[in-house]
Amino acid sequence: MGTTALITGASSGIGLELAKIHASRGGNLVLVARREEKLANLKADLEKKYGVSVQYIVKDLFIPNAPKEVYEEVENRNITVDYLINNAGFGYFGMFREADWDKDFQTIDLNITVLTQFCKLFLQDMLKQGSGKIMNIASSAAFQPGPKMAVYYATKAYVLHFSEALNNEVRKMGITVTTLCPGPTTTGFPTAVDRTNSRLLKILSLPTAREVAKYGYKAMINGRSVAIYGTLNTVMATSVRFIPRSLVVKTVRLIQEKSKP
């Protein structure tokens, strides 16, 4: 029987592509997202194409204690999760002083609290099994402050540092924790946060969600701690260590600004 991966935010973008990749390798799936119709269609498609078992849990992860409800449902279905992939994320583009608190709260809650709770819950079972893999999706934003997306950048820094520390704690127990750090990707996320006209997205040729997912999945299987997608993202993430922080912040602000029509 193949390994079972639980993927949050599995109905679109990188999460969707990760589900397809895992199924193509003979792996079973537990898909978590809010849109039941998409999950049902994906289940039917993957089971027909790859002959794997696909189950889904319709859950709004913004609801308090949603990860525990998902975990309990997995337990009730007698599913053993071998791979946990925390892909669900949220963010917005704009000045912190101008944004509604609800947006800040949702960004912090989903990107930090929900991810951490999923790790806490499923890690206990992995420790009992003596094996398992966790992949947390961070971002190239994790390596520097991000004016005009201040909360989002900060949450991704948390994901990176938390995941690296956790990997160190559990690696000798047969479990690896991989942090995938993609840059801007054609996932629909830039549109959701109103960055479609930013200087950065005007300059770059964005990778597809499929390309990022393939890279991240391979890194997880190989047990890599940190996987930064793309040469430019890797250079930028590394170079910020050697540049004055005041200049780093100013540069990110410049990149984030919208281009003139």
Q: Please report the domains of the chain, with CATH numbers, ordered by start residue.
A: 4-256 (3.40.50.720)
* Two structure tokens written together for 142: 């994790």
30: pLDDT strictly greater than 50: yes
Instruction: Please give the mean pLDDT across all residues of the chain.
Output: 89
188: pLDDT strictly greater than 70: no
229-249 confidence digits (pLDDT tens): 877 777 776 777 767 777 767
Given this model, what pLDDT does residue 249 score?
73
Report residue 259's pLDDT band, with 50, 70 and 90 as the boundaries: very low
Pairing of strands 83-86, 28-33: unpaired
Question: Catalytic residue positions?
Answer: 152
The CB density around residue 244, as the number of other CB atoms within 10 Å, is 9
Report residue 217's pLDDT band, with 50, 70 and 90 as the boundaries: very high
Beginning with the edge strand found earlier in the chain, give each strand of the sheet holding 28-33 in spatial order: 54-58, 28-33, 4-8, 83-86, 132-137, 175-181, 226-228
71-97 confidence digits (pLDDT tens): 999 999 999 999 999 999 999 999 999
Would you list the DSSP string of 214-241?
Answer: HHHHHHHHTT-SEEE-SHHHHHHHHHGG
Given this model, what pLDDT does residue 202 score?
53
The CB density around residue 126, as the number of other CB atoms within 10 Å, is 22
196: pLDDT strictly greater than 70: no
141 alpha carbon, distance to own chain's centre: 12
Report residue 201's pLDDT band, with 50, 70 and 90 as the boundaries: low
Given this model, what pLDDT does residue 236 score?
73
Q: Nearest to residue 159, comparing CAs of 184, 178, 136, 182?
A: 136
Report residue 128's pLDDT band, with 50, 70 and 90 as the boundaries: very high
pTM exceeds cut of 0.85: yes
62: pLDDT strictly greater than 80: yes
